[in-house]
A = this chain, B = another copy of it.
C-alpha cells in the first residue's frame, strides 16, 4: 500500500507558452524532468494527480487581479482559446488510465476541490509537488497540505517561477515551514515509498 502521491500542478499550455499573458518563464524547461518523474511514479504504482486550471469562456471565474490580462491576452485556459494557450498539457507527460485529474478554480490544489477527500480515501500521507508556478500554486498547495497534516516534498527542478530569485526565495520559505526540498534526480533513483 502506497502512502505517497505525485501532484502535477498547472503544467498547461496557458502557462507554458510565451504568447500567453500567464506565461511563466521558468516553466518550459521543467517539462522533461516532470515527464521523467511522472513515468517513474506510474511504474511504481504511485498515484499521479494532474491538477489543472480552466476558466469559463466569459471569464466569470478568473481571479479579479488577473481579469484584465486574461481578457486582453487571448483568454488563455478557456474554451475556444488558441490551442497554444489552452488548458492542454504537454504530450511528453502521456496518459495512464490510473491518473487522477482535478480542475481547480484558484491557486491552491485544495481550494474548493475534492483533492483532500480523494487523498484521504487512498490513505495518502505524503505529497510530492511539481508544476508551476512556485510562488503561487505550488506554495499555496504546500501550505494547505501542511495545514492538513500531509508531509510535503517539493521538487526544485520540477517547479518554476518567473525569475531565479523568486524560485529560490520561495523554496527557502517552504523549507522554513517544514517542506522537504529535493531535485528530481534524488527521486528517480529511489523507491518512492522510501523517500
**B contact residues around A144 at 8 Å (CB):** 111
Task: Name A's interface SS.
Answer: helix
B-side contacts of A162, CB under 8 Å: 176
B64 touches A178 (CB 8 A): yes
Is B177 within 8 A of A146, CB to CB?
no
Chain B positions within 8 Å of A143 at CB level: 107-108, 136, 140
Q: From B65, B169, B178, give the contact of A146 (CB < 8 A).
A: B65
Whether a CB of chain B sits under 8 angstroms from the CB of A63 is: yes
Across-interface contacts of A170 in B (CB, < 8 A):
169, 173
User: Known: A108-B143, A170-B173. Contact between A178 and B136, CB under 8 A?
Assistant: no
Q: CA of A64 to CA of B126 in the docked complex: distance in angstroms?
A: 13
| A135-B173, A136-B177, A176-B135 known; A63-B146 Cβ under 8 A | yes
Chain B residues within an 8 Å CB radius of A64 = 146, 149, 151, 178
